[in-house]
Each structure stands twice: as C-alpha cells, then as structure tokens.
C-alpha cells in the first residue's frame, strides 16, 4: 500500500469518526421524515379470499362417478388455463357491470391475485381493496360469474366454488421497512458528503498529510487539550498534569534537535489561521527549552492581539514598551524575567507603517540579544492576517508552523509556505496541534521512534540536574 493511499485512508477514518454525530443526525432526519410521511399517507388495504376446484369434466360428471388419474392430471393442466380466463377482460368487465364500479378492467385486474396449490386442482383467488365490503363483494361476484364464463369459453372441464369470500387480512404498514431504508440512505448520503468535502477542500489531518502534501516534516503531535484542562495546560503552572508536562518537554526536545541540526537561533512560531494554538506552542516551547538549561527570549510579535502580557501577568510598570521611533537606547528594560533562564518581551508598540520588525533599531536590538540568549522565539500573528508575521519571518532563521488538526486547508498551508519562501524564510517543520484520535494519526510516528528513544530516556535526568542547580 502506497504512503498516499495510507494517508487518504487514515484521513477518511478520522473524518468519519469525528463526524459520527453528523452521520447519525442525518440518518435520524431521514428516518423521521419517512416515518411521518408513511404514517400520514398510510391507507389500509383489505384482502378477501375464496377458492375454486377445477374438474376435468363439465359439471363434475365422471364415468362410474369416480375420476380417473387422467382426469386429475387434465384438471391440473386446466388450472393455468382457468387462471388466465378468470383474469381476462371478459370476467373483469362483467364484474364491473354487475357491481357498477367506477374503474376499468386493467385496474380491477391489478387488485386480483390468483394462485394454485401445487399438484392439486385447487385455485385460490384474493382481492385487495381499501374498502373491506367491496373486496368481499368483488370476490363473491367473480365466484358467481366464473362458472358461467367457463361454460361458454372452455369446451372441457368445469369450475366449482369451494367456499364463500371472506376477509383474511389487512395489508401491513410499510413504516418499519421504509424507515430502515431511509436510515440506510441517510448514512450513505452523509458518508458521501463527508468524503466529497475532503476531496473538494482537503484539510490537514495527519502527519502523513504534512509530509506528503506540504513536503515538510511534522516535528511533533500535541493532543487536544480538554476543556477542563485548558487553564492548567501550560507548563508554567504548578497544577499542570504530568501528561501535559511530559508532552511539552518532548516537543521541546524534538524541536531543539531540529534547531540545532539547522543552526537556528531565531525561530518564528506562526500559523495559517487564528485559533490553531500557535501561542500555546510558542510559550511551551520557550518554557521547555529553558527547562533544558538554555537561555531563551520569548518575543510577542502579534501586534494586533498581544497575549504574553496576560499569560505571564506582566504589567507596564515591570517593563518598558519598545518603540521603534523612540530615541531611547536602553536594552534590558524591555524584558521581563519569568524564570531563571526565560525572559519575555511583551510590549512592542505598533506604528502605522507596520514595518517595526524591519527597523534598524529592532534589528540592532536583536543582534545584542543574540549574544545573551541561546534561542529567541517569536510568537506572531497568523501569516494570512497581517504582514507582521512576514516581516518577522524575513529576519528569523527559520519558521515553525502550527497546524490544528482538521482546521487548516492543504491549499492554505501550501500558499503560506510559498509566501514565506518569497521572503527567504525556511519552514523547518510543523507541529500538529489538537489531535483528537491519535491512533488514526499515528502512521508517521514510526519515523521518529529512533529519536524518541535517544532523547526521551535522558530528558528527566537533564531536568532533575537543572532543577538541582537552580535551587
């Protein structure tokens, strides 16, 4: 099986699982609609039945008053002939005339069913009609007319009535079979709709999608943060669960390996759209790198919606606002110390030109900071919304794209990478965020098993040593 086929199958499986509510809702709507329609249009049909016996001799006159084997065989052969005669227009017209029915022979014939019992001379007649009295009347009238017609049209044999017409049942409601069919159709329609949506507007769902469609490596997968855990999901908080803490630390180890391999010091963390978790990734990446013993500077490059000041509770009294048009030459007062190895630059004044990050003052400031910090991490606005991210990408060594599972379209991600390449920025890799069903997206995880075995086994030892040094 090719990698592309595996990716498509895994994406379809993910979409069907994530949209299971839509599938069942569509089926329920179809079932409800057909149920009410069936109940509203249901009309009961009554079935009246009678039976005949076919004789080989007319009026049942056999030699020696006993039928021979040849007579019985001949009578059985006559059953088919009599069946055709009973349903002929001659008989139907006679019944219509006698009962004064407002219908033609074809319509009356469609309500009549004739059947024979195998290897016997018995012929059953069933009449279906919405009027129970009329159904019985039609059956009785046929039994009265049939012998007369047979005497005139068939030269041999006769037909005798065994019993009077009587009601044998009512047509069953078709609600249950109709609803079953409607539910099945609803399931098929919803599944086809989901698959068609994937084909027309494919979104990034798995690590294989990133590697095959974007031609970039997925450096890490972050599981979806549950609603009740969102306030404690940051590595900074003391209430952060061990599961989230280890996940962020592993992410830091894998991304650090990629940064060191490419000699990257200034990293831009961005995304295609809003709400993909880029700020959370940038913060936890900076925290993880600082936990690993590296000096890190985290800069809030989202000029329209800065958030680091709220996350770290940094007030304007604690740090100065960087203004590219100001003549101040200070460098340290723009930063707030969060941890021994982690500093944050939360306030950058935005100007009408939107070119703050390309200014000489900011460039010189970064040159100074690079002498003191091992890594500088930028948290920017989404690429598709402002030019700030593009400006930051131009002065960064590499770009890390954060992609939320089943949120970013493949076409949008490809365009974003092309825009970054236009300014000379290199996308070093991606982080797949908000992963719901890890088993579905685990196809590319085998690629990183060797790295995980090499780094994860020692990162707890590294952290314990650094914590001991800090104390």
Kindly tell me the burial class for residue 393, based on how many C-beta atoms sit within 10 Å of its own C-beta (0-12, 13-18, 19 or more).
buried
The percentage of the chain sitting over the pLDDT mark of 90, rounded to a whole number, equals 25
pLDDT of residue 256: 94
Q: Are 204 and 403 in contact (CB under 8 A)?
A: yes
Query: pLDDT at residue 441 above 90?
Result: no
Judge whether residue 437 has pLDDT over 80.
Answer: no
Distance (Å, whole) CA 398 – CA 428: 6
Say yes or no to pLDDT of 435 above 80. Answer: yes
Q: Quote the pLDDT of residue 454.
A: 41
Q: What is the pLDDT of residue 73?
A: 57
Structural contact between residues 100 and 137, judged by C-beta atoms closer than 8 angstroms: no
Inform me whether the pLDDT recorded for 450 exceeds 60. no
The mean pLDDT of the chain is: 80
Computed over its alpha carbons, how large is the radius of gyration of the chain? 42
> Is the pLDDT reported for residue 27 higher than 90?
yes
Q: How far apart are CA 209 and CA 82, in angstroms?
A: 71
Label residue 428 exposed, middle or buried (CB < 10 Å: 0-12, 13-18, 19+).
buried
- Using CA atoms in the order 61, 62, 63, 67, what is the torsion angle rounded to 10 degrees? -170
Which pairs count as long-range contacts for 306-312, CB under 8 Å and 24+ apart, including other chains?
A: 306/346, 306/347, 306/348, 307/279, 307/379, 308/279, 308/283, 308/344, 308/346, 308/379, 309/346, 309/347, 311/234, 311/236, 311/279, 311/283, 312/236, 312/336, 312/338, 312/344, 312/346
Region 103-117: what's the mean pLDDT?
86
Span 131-160, mean pLDDT? Answer: 80
- Predicted confidence (pLDDT) at residue 461 exceeds the cutoff of 70: no
Task: Determine the Cα angle at 158 with ends 153 and 160, to 5°.
Answer: 125
Give the pLDDT confidence score for residue 327 in this predicted structure.
61
More confident residue, 31 or 150: 31
Residue 384 sits at φ, ψ, to 5 deg, of: -80, -10
Helices (H) then strands (E): counts for the chain: 15, 12
Percent of the chain's residues with pLDDT above 70: 79
449: pLDDT strictly greater than 70: no
pLDDT at 219: 93
Q: Is 403 helix (H, G, I), strand (E, B) or coil?
A: strand
354-368 tens-digit pLDDT: 556 777 788 888 888
Kindly state the tokens that stand for 161. 């009535």
pLDDT in tens, 274-330: 889 899 899 999 999 998 999 999 999 888 888 888 888 888 777 777 776 666 555
CA atoms within 13 A on the CB side of 356: 22
C-beta separation of 444 from 207 below 8 A: yes
Q: Which residues are within 8 A (CB) of 445 and not within 5 positions of it... i.e. 6 or more apart?
A: 207, 221
Start-to-end CA span in the chain (Å): 54
**Where is pLDDT greater, at 438 or 353?**
438
Q: Smallest Cα–Cα separation from 447: which of 153, 218, 178?
A: 218
Helix or strand or coil: residue 262? coil
Whether 111 contacts 128, CB under 8 Å = yes
Beta carbons within 10 angstroms of residue 440's beta carbon: 21
Domains in the chain and their CATH numbers?
3-42+174-195 (no CATH), 46-170 (3.30.70.1130), 204-470 (3.40.50.300)
The answer, yes or no, to whether residue 442 has pLDDT greater than 50, is no
Lowest mean pLDDT among 116-120, 156-160, 397-401: 156-160
């Amino acid at each position: 099986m090719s990698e592309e086929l595996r990716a498509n199958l895994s994406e379809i499986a993910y979409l069907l699982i994530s949209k299971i509510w839509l599938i069942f809702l569509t089926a329920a709507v179809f079932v409800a609609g057909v149920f009410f329609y069936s109940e509203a249009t249901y009309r009961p049909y009554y079935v009246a039945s009678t039976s005949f016996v076919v004789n080989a001799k007319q009026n049942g006159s056999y030699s020696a008053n006993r039928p021979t084997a040849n007579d019985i065989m001949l009578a059985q052969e006559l059953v088919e002939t009599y069946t055709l005669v009973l349903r002929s227009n001659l008989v139907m017209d006679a019944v219509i005339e006698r009962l004064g029915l407002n219908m033609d022979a074809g319509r009356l014939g469609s309500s009549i069913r004739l059947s024979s019992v195998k290897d016997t001379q018995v012929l059953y007649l069933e009449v279906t009609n919405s009027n129970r009295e009329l159904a019985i009347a039609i059956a009785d009238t046929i039994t009265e007319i049939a012998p007369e017609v047979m005497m005139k049209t068939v030269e041999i044999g006769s037909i005798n009535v065994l019993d009077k017409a009587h009601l044998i049942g009512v047509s069953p409601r078709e609600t249950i079979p109709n609803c079953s069919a409607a539910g099945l159709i609803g399931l098929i329609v919803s599944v086809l709709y989901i698959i068609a949506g994937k084909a027309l507007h494919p979104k990034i769902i798995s690590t294989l999608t990133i590697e095959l469609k974007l031609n970039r490596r997925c450096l890490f997968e972050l599981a979806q943060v549950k609603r009740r855990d969102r306030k404690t999901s940051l590595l900074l908080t003391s209430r952060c669960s061990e599961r989230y803490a280890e996940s962020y630390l592993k992410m830091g180890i894998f991304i650090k390996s990629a940064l060191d391999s490419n000699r990257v010091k200034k990293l831009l963390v961005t995304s295609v759209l809003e709400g993909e978790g880029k700020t959370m990734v940038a913060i936890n990446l900076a925290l993880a790198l600082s936990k690993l013993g590296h000096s890190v500077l985290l800069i809030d490059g989202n000029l329209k919606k800065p958030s680091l000041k709220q996350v770290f509770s940094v007030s304007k009294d604690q740090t100065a606002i960087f203004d590219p048009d100001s003549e101040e030459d200070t460098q340290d007062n723009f930063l707030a110390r969060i941890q021994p190895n982690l500093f944050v630059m939360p306030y950058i004044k935005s100007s009408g030109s939107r070119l703050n990050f390309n200014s000489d003052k900011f460039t010189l400031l970064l040159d100074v900071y690079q002498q003191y910090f091992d890594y500088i991490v930028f948290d920017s606005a989404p690429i598709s919304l402002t030019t700030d991210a593009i400006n930051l990408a131009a002065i960064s060594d590499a770009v890390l794209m954060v992609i939320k599972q089943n949120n970013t379209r493949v076409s949008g991600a490809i365009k974003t990478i092309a825009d970054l390449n236009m300014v000379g920025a290199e996308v070093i890799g991606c982080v797949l965020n908000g992963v719901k069903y890890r088993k579905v997206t685990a196809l590319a995880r085998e690629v990183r098993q060797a790295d995980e075995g090499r780094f994860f086994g020692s990162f707890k030892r590294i952290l314990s040593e650094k914590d001991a040094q800090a104390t």
